[in-house]
Amino acid sequence: MKFKFYIFILGAGLSACSFGKQTFVNGKSIPLSAEYPNSRSVDSIVSPYKIELDKEMNQIVAQAEVDFINQRPNGSLGFLVADILLEKGKEVLPNENMICLINIGGLRAPISKGNVLLGDVFKLMPFDNQFLLVKMPAKSIVDIQAYLKKSGGEPISGFKVLQDTILTGDNQVWQANDFWVVTSDYLMNGGDNMNFFQQKLEVKNPNLLLRNVILEGFKSRKTLSNVIDTRIKL
């Protein structure tokens, strides 16, 4: 397989108009092949860092009893992650009415049965998204329900959407009160068209990354057990 990289030549010219300096960029494609051998000098610089990074990323952080798969409307991977995030949210704000809602697209790799490595956590959550708690008005739960129906399901915890019925995580009838949502800064800002977050009443940012919360949850569990649940029924 041939790979390509680009060399850009920058040239600066003065423009006669009032916008000042203009920069011109020209690119040239150079295929990478055996014609361009590896640079030993570069390899000698990079190699020690790669060895150290590989050593760190190969640390075992947990054991998975099963393969955790990302799927709609109910997926073991999404529910595992959402449960971990919700647990952290309740640590930050105990005794509050709280749920978790994240997006299936934010989980980028499965967790396979067996040893779970630190590198697997980075593959699962490669983004530096912030862990947020967002206070929402009671009426917004209906908008969240409608969104889940339209999207076909997302990772959730702390509540269930069973067709036209909204239940708490322990199968009680949902009460019409204000509530907190554990989510990411990306989604709170309208990512994946989660525009209902515009109704937010308050936001708390504990200055945590989602990835670090997930890692902490994996380590504390030690063994990742299968999550078998029907939380969304369309």
113-125, pLDDT tens digit by residue? Answer: 999 999 999 999 9
Q: Does 53 score more than 70 pLDDT? A: no
At 13, the pLDDT band (50, 70, 90 cuts) reads very low
Please give the pLDDT value at position 56: 81
- Residue length of the chain: 234
Name which of 139, 141, 140, 133 is nearest 202 in CA terms. 133
Say what the pLDDT of residue 227 is: 87
Is the pLDDT reported for residue 25 higher than 90?
no
Of the candidates 214, 205, 196, the one whose C-alpha atom is nearest the C-alpha of residue 145 is 196
Q: Is the pTM of this model over 0.85?
A: no
Whole-number pLDDT of residue 168: 96
The answer to whether residue 58 scores a pLDDT higher than 80 is yes
Contacts 24+ apart (CB under 8 A), 229-233: 229/74, 229/79, 230/74, 230/160, 230/162, 231/74, 231/79, 231/156, 231/157, 231/159, 231/160, 231/161, 232/73, 232/74, 232/148, 232/153, 232/156, 232/160, 232/161, 232/162, 233/73, 233/161, 233/162, 233/163
Does position 205 have pLDDT exceeding 90, yes or no?
Answer: yes
For the cut 80, the answer to whether the pLDDT of residue 152 exceeds it is yes
Give me the mean pLDDT over the 76-80 stretch.
97
Instruction: Tell me the domains of the chain and their CATH numbers.
Output: 60-233 (3.90.780.10)
Task: Determine the pLDDT at residue 49.
Answer: 55
The chain-wide mean pLDDT, for the chain, equals 86
**Distance (Å, whole) CA 48 – CA 53:** 9
Tokens at 5, concatenated: 């990289």
